[in-house]
Amino acid sequence: TYVGEVRRATWGRALCTVAPRLTHVGKDGRAVMVDVSDKPQDARRMAVASGEVYLGQVAYDLVAQNALRKGDALAVARLAGVMGAKQTANLIPLCHNIFLSKVHVDLALEPARHSVRIRVTATAVGPTGVEMEALTAVSIAALTVYDMAKAVSKDIRIADIQLESKSGGKSGDYQRAG
């Protein structure tokens, strides 16, 4: 969506009442880092993100039995997710450095889909949100599962990395529908 544009559904009703604005685009159209100095420094922020790694039968069985040659894929991915969240500002150019209060990485085996479901909750107190930290943690945890199991399968697929919810901040709370 461009600055000042109101998106409309095919039947002509406005999807939003306020003109959307990309916060990382300056008036001249160039990428900018958002100034958060005037935002409350004591705002509690929380974000939940999720994703899934589809392993296939062989790789899934080895992960579930903790029988991969590289070791415990779930334990390594859990730590990698936390480390990824802490490195977000180094990976995403316009993200602020954030003092994270907590990052919780949950990995669940999904036998029916031969997959690992990843869910991350990130929290912080400060002037900016933690959505990118939660999404980065999911992405790094998923890539780590892939790395741990790639020797036994090349058909591994990472999918559905998305923000599930967020709270705190100027834009308000968000909860994914469904």
**What are the catalytic residues?**
147
Question: 79: exposed, middle or buried (C-beta count within 10 Å: 0-12, 13-18, 19+)?
Answer: middle
Instruction: Pick the closest to residue 126 from 23, 48, 47, 39 (CA basis).
Output: 39
Helices 57-64, 131-149: axis angle to 10 degrees equals: 100
Q: How far apart are CA 122 and CA 96, in angstroms?
A: 15
**What's the CA gap between 97 and 127, in Å, rounded?**
11
Check residue 110 and give left, alpha or beta (phi > 0: left; psi -120 to 50: alpha): beta
Tokens of 24: 């990382």
Distance CA(98)–CA(130), nearest Å, equals 8
Report which of 171, 161, 135, 166 is spatially closest to residue 51, judged by C-alpha positions: 161
